[in-house]
Amino acid sequence: MENSNFSDDCEIKLKTKKSLKICKILKYYKELDSTQIAAKKLANENFEEGIIIVAEEQNKGYGRTEKIWNSNSGGLWFSMLLRPTIHPSESSKLALILSIALNRILEKKYKIHSEIKWPNDILIREKKIAGIIIEMSTKRNIINWIVAGIGININNNLPEYLVDTAISLNKILNAKVDRSYFLSEFLIIFEDLYFDFQKNGFKQFFTEYNDKIAYKNKQIIVDDGYNTIIGKNLGIDIDGMLIVRTDNKLERITSGTVRLL
């Protein structure tokens, strides 16, 4: 449990019980415009994989499609600099791996049932508790860097306009949650998944993701930025694409926003 904010970088690192390749440098800030912006700056300055930027508050936090992410004090807002040895076409699957890591923590460490709303939102009681954003730089079919941003509602108070669609972990547990512990457990779990993914591909995680996907076999609406697709959610295929059965055919969707019909 905790009483207030993170104190410093060391507090977080002390909770991590083993040396991690994805956490060689961890920087904590009281306030940032965005952990994504800060991490991308370091990526472009050729810093190695393994930098994590954590902020107590973000004043310009954003998620997928540049939607504003409310990032007030008490939440867990961080970005990771990664340089995976995968083809750029595989990068979207990394978001699915991150989702699995978050789902495992909530279910195994906090005994809370959670679901993954494709591609990478975490839901509890059909309300959003976490989101993920993946941004990258490529050249000639090689990934220069990936910056993965994760936002988790932990102890933060949600504004009134979000209470019907979002939820914080402390409200579910009715207790303050140690964010340093949560982050360290996430890093330990994700590191194993990350290197397994690079070595053996996504196939090994396919069943687990589909078992946890939200709205399975329900009628959904998917907005892919160009079209609106309505149909039955059949889960993902081996490539991480969402399969939707419409009146006419099976649609394989590479990206989009999902909601219940």
The token pair that represents 7 in the structure block:
């104190």
Cα 93 to Cα 187: distance, rounded to the nearest angstrom = 18
- Give the residue carrying structure tokens 């993902």: 236
Cβ neighbors of 145 (< 8 A, separation 6 or more) are 43, 44, 49, 81, 82, 83, 136, 137
The token pair that represents 101 in the structure block:
């890591």
Distances (CA, A) of 149 to 17, 34, 54, 69, 120: 23, 9, 10, 11, 11
Q: Where are the beta strands (DSSP E) in the chain?
A: 25-32, 51-58, 76-82, 115-117, 121-124, 127-139, 142-152, 219-223, 228-236, 242-245, 250-253, 257-260
Cα 124 to Cα 116: distance, rounded to the nearest angstrom = 9
In which band, very low, low, confident or very high, does the pLDDT at 2 lie, cut at 50, 70 and 90?
Answer: very low
The token pair that represents 77 in the structure block:
């807002």
pLDDT of residue 1: 31
Which listed CATH number (3.30.360.10, 3.20.20.540, 3.30.420.40, 3.30.930.10) goes with 9-210? 3.30.930.10
If one looks up domain 215-260 in CATH, what number appears? 2.30.30.100
In which band, very low, low, confident or very high, does the pLDDT at 117 lie, cut at 50, 70 and 90?
Answer: very high
**Domain spans of the chain?**
9-210, 215-260
Percent of the chain with pLDDT over 90: 80
Reported as a single tens digit per residue, the pLDDT across 155-188 is 999 989 989 999 999 999 999 999 999 999 999 9
pTM to 2 decimals? 0.91
The token pair that represents 35 in the structure block:
């952990």
Is 45 in a helix, a strand, or coil? coil
